[in-house]
A and B are shown apart, each in its own frame.
Chain A
Amino acid sequence: MSHVPNIRSIHRLLTALCAGLAWAACGGPSEPQLPPELSFSATVLELGTLREGEVDIRNSGGQSVGPVEMISGVVQDLAGATVPGVHITSDPTEVPTLNPGDTRTIHLGLTNEASLQPGFYDAVLVASGGVAPCDVHGLGSCLRGISAQVTIHFTVLSAEEEAAASLTLSTSTTEIRTGDVIGLAVEVRDDAGELIQGAPVTWTLNPATAGFVGATGQFVAYESGAVTITAQVGDAEDAVTFNVSERGLQGAFTTVGRARETLRFTSDLWLHGDVAYSGTWGSRQVGDSVRFGNMLNVWDIADPASPALSSTLELDARTVNDVKVRADGTLAIATHEGSANGLNGITILDLTDPLEPEVVGRFTDELQSGVHNVWIDGDYAYLVVDGIGNGLRILDISDPSLPTVAARFWAGESFLHDVYVRDGLAFLSHWNAGLIILDVGHGIAGGTPSTPVEVARLSDLSGQTHNAWYWPEAGYVFVGEEDFSAPGVMHVVDVRNLHEPREVATYEIKGQPPHNFWLDESQSTLYLAWYGQGLRALDVSGDLMGQLDRQGREITGALYNFGSGACDRSTAFTCSWTPQLHQGLLWVSDMNEGLIALEPPR
């Protein structure tokens, strides 16, 4: 920085002059204003059996506040168990600003109430405003400084009680582990001994916090020990006592090797054969210099204990967010965001020599706003184009030197963040539009890559739908919610009926949202990169229901580079981006360090 001599002193003089003018004009200092203060019109809102209601939010302070975000907590039963797939909605979800004395009415609703058993439920809605105390480098929770909350109570009544004379509760076993999902069979008969179909059952757990009973009469245990479940219809009831043992999982990650990139932040990775490809992200200040995410790093991982940087490829980008290799290993695609020429797009690479990729070409048509993620499936590349209104572009890359746009899809709202393609289905993580399933060759809806057809959409995933992994054998999709405010969780979506996806379970780690996943299907182990919370290995065997984080399903977690649990990009601490299981090792890209190879828990 160069300065004009003495300019500061002249500046101070003028500043003093202005200050004097201000004093004269305003008659001295003004009265201090009271800070903003948020309050709801009620602290408790009794909805009873209604499924919607209203509450006012008011700024009773002396200064403006905004935005005021409405954050709805989970719906819990009387025992405090979270009911998966049921949410309180608010309209608006955010009040832009509240000036002193301003009031706005918030309309509340309840989604997916069919998932609820008869009983009493509550949820908390927090209005959060003011400046988020996120620091410069942090990827931590950003709850705002000023808040108010209202507790919402509602009731789900039993249908008119039947003339039940007897009830029999049975199960296939009473010896279970935490996390096992067990079906409960209920048989209700009237005075004449006739079977009553579809009688509404009220369930009671003892201890109340020991687990969760789903709407379809399935039970999952959260705590070990004796758990008694009572089913009741009218005056008839029966009980079963389970002996619940700990799930008993154990294991640990062991670090095998490191491919260090400390000049730039690392983004996504993809491994094929003995080569790892990793992107770079944003801008990183090291000493006095700043390096941008303009590089694709190519690593020789023939010896995972000593990965070596084989080559780098500089791209016209400030972020190379994603890189993927086609299954046959002949071709890779790297994405561009923030390019200097404003065209962004993708670069297609020839991997004849996988350690020295050759640029086939750059394709930018319809991709100028930036490409965030990519998936390659045979002769088609599925591209996530940044921005509302853009969505998915499916490129025909049968001639990699001359790609053509085969199809486009946008959900009509929000923006696409990620895409995962398998078995002719494309799973779109479409931010606030939720999870969208497209037929691109599966056959269920007659779609092809050039004529994708929407099969289903699950909008109610709390927004910020970030990534998805489809597991066809089990019929689940694991969905990440990248919400730094709440923060977000991993949602488990049951897609055994592809036309009617429904959320059945969640997994959360306090303080951070998840990032990307990789599933070891042979071991039923889901690996989750969780920013500052590092890597987690989760047992996803069997049926999944309820809160997975309360079921002893976490095999192990690793903060391989230590840290506070928040991703601090000014340090070398753990900040996990994406895992990939490859040749028996779990590789993870870490924003702060590069790639780390770990021996997964066995």
Chain B
Amino acid sequence: MIGPGGALHRLVLSVAVALVAAGCAEVPSGRLLVTSGFTDQVFVLDAATGEVLDSLWLDPRPGERDEPHGIAVSPDGQHFYVTLSHGEPTLWKYESEGLRLVGRVTLPTSGAARVRLSPDGEMAAVPDYWLSGGGVNSQIAFVNTRDLTIHASPEVCPAPHDASYSPDGAFIAVTCAAGDQLVILDAADLSDFQRLSTEAGAKPMNVAWRDNSRLFLTLGAAPHVVDFDLNNPGSRTLLSTDDGGAQIEVGRDRAVIANRGAGTVSIVDLLRGGTRSVVIPGANPHGVALSPGRSIAYVTYEGDTRSRGGVVAVDLASGDIVWHTDVGVFTLGVAVLPE
């Protein structure tokens, strides 16, 4: 359901994309939302400058660490959703204007990793990244975003980390970190459509759809990304990147991968081929989000037990770091909140 705000959002996006397409450099705008897993916060940053504007506390147990992990903005830009991984896992709903909490639901899972929204924004998918499950199948929680009721929670595979809708909303790609699989669910009834195997021990982590049938998969324990074509499930292409792929986003002609293991971001040129590697000035790169014009990548880094996490903005054309801000501890998810 896209309201007037959604129409406006699309208009602004169109203007931004058109500007870039016309050869104008995109001016970063709007706000960034990043999750700080070890301080139980979401920070709000100025996407243009990296300045920290605000912070939210997601802290049902002030004496414990609850780990805000995934974050996603609704297609109409009016709400955003955050997962809490620890304790009894929860999904939180906020209004973008005023950053007001308007809901929270306890998920029927052991944990919670990323949150992904259906293209119409009506459904949120939260995988149960339960690494301690000993190989048992874990669930994906599907939540109606309007009233935060649980729609379904099918058991899909061991330790799913990402569950991403295809652009047309027909499929959901689920990465099985402990199962070396990519599972494609039919979004209509959440049944299996395809199960695609990856190399043993590669640890599938995140996906990004290139179109309605092609998608990229990052591997936490391998130095490449897998390019799958659902119309030709037997074939796959490997794109060389650096080691330990975490999140990935795909723009019009580039894929951007945060390499947690290598401490870099890979920018893959999908038209001409070739990969540029950019060293991130922080430990353990994790999350990726693209600017509305898709010319800037915002990349979070977790930090480690001696250093803070943070965010960098990377110009995808030049590979230059536009700005860099240390913010949060165990900084994980990132999403763009457009103007």
Contact = CB atoms under 8 A, between A and B. Distances in A.
A465 to B, nearest CB: 13
A292 B303 CA distance: 11
B149 A11 contact: no
A282 B103 CA distance: 27
B103 A136 contact: no
B104 A139 contact: no
B305 A96 contact: no
Max chain B Cβ within 10 angstroms of own Cβ: one of A136, A317, A385: A136
A21 B8 contact: yes
Contacts of A25: 4, 7-8, 11
Contacts of B64: 372
A97 B110 contact: no
A3 interface: yes
A369 B111 CA distance: 10
B132 interface: yes
Interface string A566-602: 0000000000000000000000000000000000000
Given A7-B49, A25-B11, A387-B86, A66 B102 contact: yes
Nearest to A30: B4
B147 A94 contact: no
A294 B306 contact: yes
Interface stretch (B51-59, B68-76, B222-230, B264-272): B51-59
A387 B322 contact: no
Given A14-B27, A64-B102, A283-B39, A290 B329 contact: yes
Contact of A21 (B11, B27, B283, B321): B11
B12 A21 contact: yes
B28 A7 contact: yes
A190 B49 CA distance: 88
B93 A340 contact: no
A482 interface: yes
Contacts of B4: 25-26
B23 interface: no
B206 to A, nearest CB: 15
A338 interface: yes
A283 B36 CA distance: 11
Interface residues of B, number: 65
A318 B49 contact: no
A369 B149 contact: no
Contact of B29 (A11, A94, A317, A337): A11
A389 to B, nearest CB: 4
Contacts of A63: 100, 102
A147 interface: no
B241 interface: no
Contact of B93 (A17, A97, A464, A531): A97
A545 B232 CA distance: 72
A536 interface: no
Nearest to B103: A97
A316 B322 CA distance: 32
Does more than half of chain B's interface fall in helix, strand or loop, or is it mixed?
A: loop
Contacts of A64: 95, 102-103
A366 interface: yes
Contact of A4 (B39, B86, B110, B323): B323
A346 to B, nearest CB: 14
Does more than half of chain A's interface fall in helix, strand or loop, or is it mixed?
A: loop
A415 B330 contact: no
Interface residues of A, number: 71
A439 B131 CA distance: 28
Contacts of B202: none
Contacts of B51: 1
A44 interface: no
Given A139-B62, A414-B88, A134 B57 contact: yes
B308 interface: yes
B197 interface: no
Given A14-B27, A142-B62, A283-B38, A1 B48 contact: no
Interface of A: 1-4, 7-8, 10-11, 13-15, 17-18, 21-22, 25-26, 63-67, 94, 96-97, 99, 102, 130-132, 134, 136, 138-139, 142, 282-283, 290, 292, 294, 314-319, 337-340, 366-369, 372, 385-390, 414-415, 431-432, 464, 482, 484, 513, 515, 531
Interface of B: 4, 7-8, 11-12, 15, 27-29, 37-39, 46, 48-51, 55, 57, 59, 61-65, 86-89, 93, 95, 100-106, 109-111, 130-134, 146-149, 283-284, 302, 304-306, 308, 321-325, 329-330, 339
4 smallest A-B Cβ distances: which pairs?
A97-B103, A66-B103, A96-B148, A96-B105
12 contacts: A2-B324, A18-B12, A64-B95, A136-B57, A282-B65, A283-B38, A315-B305, A338-B37, A338-B38, A368-B132, A389-B132, A482-B61
Given A282-B65, A292-B329, A366-B132, 8 more contacts: A3-B49, A67-B103, A97-B93, A97-B147, A130-B101, A139-B62, A294-B305, A484-B61
